[in-house]
């Protein structure tokens, strides 16, 4: 569901594949609600894949 | 009754006093305005409170739907479906189509409403079943409420509603800033089936719990549509207090109990003070810009719609830069769909995208990468456009 990669400046970008096939990408920023959901997902013991 | 001051064609002015403590201003015996304990009102009792942007709700007339106008098969999740700013949350409460609808109260100036249409019923709710439509409000836009002080302001909610299912519904305010959270619930009644009705609810000011003066979520307005016994088994909490689940939605009807059920809502206004004023209609461009602080959607407009220009950084990647129409709230996410129908072109190469992901962001500019299988050349200028399709969407969000 989640993958992590780095952008062209070496920062981590998280990519979520949504149920409709779309993707949502975002940074590790506390005021981002997608990142907050990602942290919750991690806290449930999940691990993201690394993007190719 | 009220003291009246009547300006007429025969006597000039006639003053008829009483001891009600209220005043009516009349022209030839017809009341034109009232002065009551709730302030200045028109003849129908609507507040004549002035000032622009008094409505704390954005898109209360349901005009803006950047993500789309209809979303079906909704049965799980906490998400934005169609109408901007209106978030939906559901669990074990049937299946629904949520849409921007053209059914509106006649002669009130509205063109659209939010519609919930039950497509799979759940007449036997679980204890923790729920369905609600909500709008999250940004703390720095709420400081005039003076919440958490002795001068805390009351709030008045007004809206139009129509449903086939009569009975009790719950609308409540939820403070997410104060530890343990705080909320206040009020009920309203849909009296007549299939008939638009205007509802007005006043919530007392809360002297406990200041709202943070920042760009984060502070206060929610919720319209309950379905609530299991976890939320209904207590006593409705009609005064501000800490969260007790059982007191949240006491009395709420089960709108999910039949596939015949629907509800339409529009003209949602939440304003400081007691008594509702007329709905504040904003120009379309202003309302759109207010929504775009939280969501900017591209795509679906033209079959070769341009998404941005940039530079190819390798044989398989293009870096695209785009200016956003307004300053967004904060951190930005990029959602891309049907990216195979987007192409990178530079005059010679023509390559379909395989992925589009955010690369950098400010509040007004974003940079993102469009990945292709092959065919690009580093340092060449390029553009990103739809490839003869209305399907691709690129949506930037900075939701609360």
Query: Judging by DSSP bridges, how do beta strands A49-50 and B3-8 pair with one another?
Result: unpaired
Please report the sign of the dihedral spanned by the C-alpha atoms of residue B204, residue B252, residue B221, residue B60: negative
Greatest alpha-carbon pair distance for chain A in Å reads 30
Give the neighbor-by-neighbor strand order of the sheet with B12-16: B12-16, B3-8, B23-27, B30-36, B39-42
Q: What is the three-class DSSP state of A33?
A: helix
Q: How confident is the model at residue B238 (pLDDT cuts 50, 70, 90)?
A: very high
**Across A21-30, B283-292, B357-366, least confident range:** B357-366
Strand partners, B221: B135, B173
Greater model confidence, B24 or B135? B135
Average pLDDT over chain B reads 96
SS3 labels along B153-212: CCEEEEEEEEECCCEEEEEEEEECCCCCCEEEEEEEEECCCCCCEEEEEEECCCCCCCCC
Q: Does B393 touch chain A (CB under 8 A)?
A: yes
Distances (CA, A) of B391 to B275, B297, B336, B375: 45, 13, 11, 23
Query: Quick one: what percent of chain B has pLDDT higher than 70?
Result: 100
Q: Residue A13: which of B331, B338, B357 has the nearest Cβ?
A: B357
Q: Does A36 touch chain B (CB under 8 A)?
A: no
Distance in angstroms (rounded) separating the CA atoms of residues A29 and B328: 15
Q: Name residues whose C-beta falls within 8 Å of residue A25's C-beta, 6 or more positions apart in sequence.
A: A13, A14, A15, A16, B333, B334, B336, B357, B358, B368
In this structure, chain A runs to a length of 52
Residue B49: the pLDDT is 73
Q: Residue B334: which of A25, A31, A35 has the nearest Cβ?
A: A25
Q: How confident is the model at residue B144 (pLDDT cuts 50, 70, 90)?
A: very high
Q: Name residues whose C-beta falls within 8 Å of residue B367's C-beta, 6 or more positions apart in sequence.
A: B310, B319, B320, B321, B322, B358, B359, B360, B361
Q: Does A50 touch chain B (CB under 8 A)?
A: no
pLDDT reading at B80 higher than 90: yes
Residue B40: the pLDDT is 85
SS3 labels along B201-232: EEECCCCCCCCCCCCCEEEEEEEEEEECHHHC
Contact A29 B355 (CB under 8 A): no
Give which of B361, B317, B383, B391 is closest to A51, Cα–Cα: B317
Domains of chain B listed by start with CATH number? 3-42 (no CATH), 70-291 (2.60.120.260), 293-397 (2.60.40)
Mean pLDDT, residues A11-28:
96
Q: Chain A residues with CB inside 8 Å of B369's CB?
A: 7-8
Q: What is the three-class DSSP state of A36?
A: helix
* pTM for the whole structure: 0.92
**Across B33-37, B142-146, B329-333, B378-382, least confident range:** B33-37
Q: Tell me: the pLDDT tens digits for B347-372?
A: 887 899 999 999 999 888 999 999 99
Contact A8 B400 (CB under 8 A): no
Distance in angstroms (rounded) separating the CA atoms of residues B209 and B206: 7
Kindly state the DSSP code that residue A21 receives in the 8-state scheme.
S
Q: How confident is the model at residue A52 (pLDDT cuts 50, 70, 90)?
A: low
Q: How many CB pairs under 8 A join A and B?
A: 66
pLDDT reading at B93 higher than 80: yes
- The C-alpha of A30 sits at a distance from chain B's nearest C-alpha, in angstroms, of 8
Q: Are B340 and B370 in contact (CB under 8 A)?
A: no
Pick from A16, A18, A24 the residue to mutate for testing the B interface (most B CBs within 10 Å).
Answer: A24
Q: Chain A residues with CB inside 8 Å of B399's CB?
A: 33
Q: How confident is the model at residue B46 (pLDDT cuts 50, 70, 90)?
A: confident
pLDDT reading at A51 higher than 80: no
Residue B36: the pLDDT is 87
Q: Does B27 touch chain A (CB under 8 A)?
A: no
Token code pair at residue B304: 């070769």
Residue B61: the pLDDT is 98
Query: Quick one: what percent of chain B has pLDDT higher than 90?
Result: 90
In angstroms and rounded to an integer, the radius of gyration of the C-alpha atoms of chain B is 25
Contact A8 B319 (CB under 8 A): yes
Strand partners, B345: B350, B383
Contact A33 B399 (CB under 8 A): yes
Residue A45: the pLDDT is 96
Closest alpha carbon within chain B to A10: B359
């Amino acid at each position: 569901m989640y993958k992590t990669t780095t952008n062209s400046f070496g920062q981590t970008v998280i990519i979520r594949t949504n149920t409709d096939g779309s993707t949502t990408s975002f940074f590790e920023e506390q005021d981002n609600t997608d990142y907050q959901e990602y942290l919750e997902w991690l806290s449930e013991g999940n691990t993201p894949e690394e993007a190719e | 009754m009220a003291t009246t001051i009547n300006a007429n064609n025969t006597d000039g002015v006639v003053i008829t006093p009483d001891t009600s403590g209220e005043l009516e201003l009349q022209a030839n015996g017809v009341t034109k305005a009232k002065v009551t304990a709730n302030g200045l009102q028109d003849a129908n009792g609507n507040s004549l409170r002035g000032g622009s942007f008094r409505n704390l709700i954005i898109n209360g007339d349901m005009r803006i739907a950047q993500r789309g106008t209809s979303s079906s098969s909704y049965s799980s999740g906490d998400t934005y479906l169609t109408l901007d700013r209106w978030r939906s949350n559901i669990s074990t409460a049937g299946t629904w189509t949520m849409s921007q609808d053209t059914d509106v109260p006649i002669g009130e100036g509205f063109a659209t409403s939010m519609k919930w249409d039950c497509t799979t019923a759940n007449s036997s709710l679980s204890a923790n079943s729920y369905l609600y439509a909500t709008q999250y409000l940004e703390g720095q836009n709420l400081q005039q409420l003076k919440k958490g002080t002795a001068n805390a302001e009351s709030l008045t909610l007004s809206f139009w509603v129509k449903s086939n299912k009569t009975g009790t519904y719950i609308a409540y305010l939820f403070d997410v800033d104060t530890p343990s959270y705080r909320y206040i619930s009020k009920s309203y009644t849909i009296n007549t089936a299939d008939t638009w009705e205007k509802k007005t609810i006043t919530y007392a000011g809360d002297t406990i719990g200041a709202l943070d003066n920042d760009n984060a979520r502070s206060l929610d307005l919720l319209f309950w549509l379905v609530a299991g016994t976890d939320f209904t088994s207590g006593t409705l909490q009609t005064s501000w207090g800490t969260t007790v689940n059982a007191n949240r939605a006491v009395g709420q009807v089960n709108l999910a109990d039949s596939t015949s059920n629907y509800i339409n809502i529009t003209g949602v206004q939440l304003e400081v003070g007691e008594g509702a004023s007329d709905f504040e209609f904003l120009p379309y461009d202003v309302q759109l810009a207010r929504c775009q602080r939280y969501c900017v959607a591209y795509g679906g407009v033209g079959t070769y719609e341009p998404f941005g220009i940039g530079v190819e950084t390798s044989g398989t990647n293009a870096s695209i830069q785009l200016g956003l129409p307004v300053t967004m709230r904060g951190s930005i996410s990029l959602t891309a769909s049907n990216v195979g129908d987007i192409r990178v072109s530079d005059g010679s190469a023509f390559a379909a995208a395989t992925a589009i992901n955010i690369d950098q962001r400010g509040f007004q500019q974003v940079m993102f990468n469009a990945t292709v299988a092959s065919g690009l050349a580093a340092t060449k200028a390029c553009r990103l456009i739809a490839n003869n399709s209305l399907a691709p969407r690129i949506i930037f969000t900075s939701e609360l």
